[in-house]
Amino acid sequence: MSDFSSSPVIEATGVVKQFGTVNALSGLSLKVMPGDIYGLLGPNGAGKSTFIKIINGLSEPTLGTVNVLGYNPMLNPIEVKSRIGYVSENSMLYESLSPRDFFEFVASIRKTDPVRTNERVARLASALGLNEFYDSPISTLSLGTKQKVSIVAAFMHDPPLLLLDEPLNGLDAKSSRILKDLISLHTENNGGAVLFSTHIMEVAENICNRIGIIYQGKIVAEGSLDELRHLASTGSTGQETLEEVFLKLTHEEEEIAETVRTLREAFVADVKPSGPALA
């Protein structure tokens, strides 16, 4: 295989995904390069999870092309999956297994070097505070603890590409901080790449070098935070938060103002005083 240092880790061109009459993706194109931490931001239903599943070979695009580390995920599923660590939106764990059994199972499927993998798993599990749950059935674990199991499984084979679909879901402040550091380390060390979706603007603002805003199945704006500010600007002060830029680019600013106005009117009408009660 060729040297990937200058080749995209992900190259998607004109990806369309239809579910019946629903256009989940309507011509999405993006590139993720080695060393990128690419944040995918978009409103609910914008197509983030659908796109991440297509990259991982779990869903076939209706139209368009996808290249992941030089492979087509539909034609080369094993090559692609073995090079990806995936945290899905809904944890896909074997609930009757313990984390220990689950990690062993995943390692055996991936045919990783057992010594190295065990060492990485032990470090990751300890960093995320999983040790005390190591032998409990996954079904008995809390939401955030299950998420930590998914995260360890995604990072354990040190894959060149991490696909993280809302990875901070359910995590407490300490674990979120550790995960953010793990994501940064992943790209600093070995030119690994990360594509992740989040609704937490502050996270995207702090750790991504590139942000893609996805709206109705397409990337409507892409770049660093400063580049996005510029794109959203008329009269930008250069100080806008990512949330402000995001709402502007997805045309949700006016919708929110209108919704709040309507709610206020309805709720104020509901609680109108009916006058003092007579004894």
Footprint of Mg ion (CB under 5 A): 48-49, 89
The binder of ligand ATP chosen from 49, 56, 98, 150 (CB under 6 A): 49
CB of 40 to Mg ion, least distance (A): 9
Judged by beta carbon distances under 5 to 8 A according to partner kind, the member of ligand ATP, Mg ion, none in contact with residue 44 is ligand ATP
- Give 50 or 187: the residue with its C-beta nearer to Mg ion: 50
Q: In the numeric block, which tokens belong to residue 5?
A: 């240092």
- Give 143 or 257: the residue with its C-beta nearer to Mg ion: 143
CB 109: neighbour CB atoms within 10 A? 10
CB of 52 to Mg ion, least distance (A): 8
d(CA 149, CA 137): 11
CB of 22 to ligand ATP, least distance (A): 5
Q: In the numeric block, which tokens belong to residue 91?
A: 């944890």
Judged by beta carbon distances under 5 to 8 A according to partner kind, the member of ligand ATP, Mg ion, none in contact with residue 93 is none
Per the CB < 8 A criterion, the answer to whether 161 and 193 are in contact is: yes
Interface positions, 85-124, toward ligand ATP (CB under 6 A): 89
- Give 22 or 256: the residue with its C-beta nearer to ligand ATP: 22
The binder of ligand ATP chosen from 45, 189, 256, 260 (CB under 6 A): 45
The binder of ligand ATP chosen from 2, 5, 21, 44 (CB under 6 A): 44
Interaction of residue 57 with ligand ATP, rule CB under 6 A: no
Task: Work out the burial of residue 252: count CB atoms within 10 Å of its CB; fewer than 13 is exposed, 13-18 middle, 19 or more buried.
Answer: middle
Candidates 19, 7, 93; CA nearest to 60 is 19
DSSP states of 17-52? EEETTEEEEEEEEEEE-TT-EEEEE--TTSSHHHHH
Q: DSSP assignment, residue 217? A: T
Question: Could you tell me the CA-to-CA distances from 150 to 111, 125, 227 in Å, in that order?
Answer: 18, 11, 33
Stretch that binds ligand ATP, among 18-26, 27-35, 129-137, 249-257 (CB under 6 A): 18-26
d(CA 209, CA 224): 6
CB of 189 to Mg ion, least distance (A): 28
Positions touching ligand ATP (CB under 6 A) are: 19, 22, 24, 42, 44-50, 89
